[in-house]
Each structure stands twice: as C-alpha cells, then as structure tokens.
Amino acid sequence: MLRPNARICLFWNVGHPPRELKEGLDDVYAGLAPGLGRCSALLGNPHHRFEITADALRSSRAFSDVAVKVFTQAREYTTKQWLDQLATHSDHRSLPPDQRHLLLESVGDVIDDEGGRFVMNYESVWVRGTRTS
C-alpha cells in the first residue's frame, strides 16, 4: 500500500506504573483478566513486540532503514483520569461488560489505596522503515 520511498511508522506507548501500584494491578489483572495483564502495553509488558515488528519489516525485504526508537515521558493521573482513558483501550473494551466493569472497579480500588493518584512513566516506542522500490 505504500509507494516506494514512503515511510511506515508504528507507535506504542508503554506504561510503567510505580512499583507498589504495579504489584496491586498485576494481582487484579491476574485474577480478573489474566491474558490482558500479560500483554498490556499499559502495564509495561509487551517489550518483545517492538523487535519482533522490526524484524518482520526487515525480513519482508520491502523496507530498509528499519529502526526502533524510544522516547520517555511522564504523566500524573487521578483514579478517575486513569479509569476514563483505560476504558477506551481496545483490549479493555473487548472484555464482556460485566468483566470490564469489575476490572475497572478493582483497578480504581488499587489506585485509591495508593493515594488516588500516581505518575505513569511512559516509553513511547516507534518502529519505522522506508519502503524499498
């Protein structure tokens, strides 16, 4: 679909919650949505995905100059702000409504137990390449 010399760039934001919060969130996800917790970019778990994606672009021989870049940033969230954005992610939206409701409620409880706000450190990762002719 890309013309020769066009660029492709694939993006992810990988979240790294504070250690204490992550421990509580890991417990919630393990109990209520185990598959989701193991692969969620929001919880910092999909690191292998980026190199796999870059390797796929390289091995296709349709792209040159393939690279992975990482940028860092941080954002503070209240419980409500986190739950509002969390509910928009496709991996959470695809859960059955009752399961999603219980998961979000439990995530909110964990955040509230840690003070009702936290700073999420992010790695914004992109994989890019140039379409060969």
**Within-domain flag for 120:** yes
Q: Is residue 69 part of a domain?
A: yes
pLDDT in tens, the chain (133 residues): 789 999 999 988 888 999 999 999 999 999 999 888 767 777 776 667 888 999 999 999 999 999 999 999 999 999 999 999 999 988 899 999 999 999 999 999 999 999 999 999 999 999 999 999 7
Question: Does residue 47 lie within any of the structural domains?
Answer: yes
- The total number of structural domains in the chain stands at 1
Residue 123 lies in a domain: yes
Residue with tokens 């003070």: 115
**Residues, the chain, total?**
133
**What whole-number distance in Å separates Cα of residue 31 and Cα of residue 63?**
41
This prediction has a pTM of: 0.79
Let me know if residue 100 belongs to a domain.
Answer: yes
Cα(13)–Cα(4) distance, integer angstroms: 28
Give all strands of the β-sheet with 7-16 in edge-to-edge order: 7-16, 117-131, 63-78
Examine residue 1 and state whether it is found in any structural domain, yes or no.
no
| Domain presence at residue 98 | yes
Instruction: Write out the residue range of the structural domain in which residue 20 sits.
Output: 7-131
Is residue 2 a part of any domain in this protein?
no
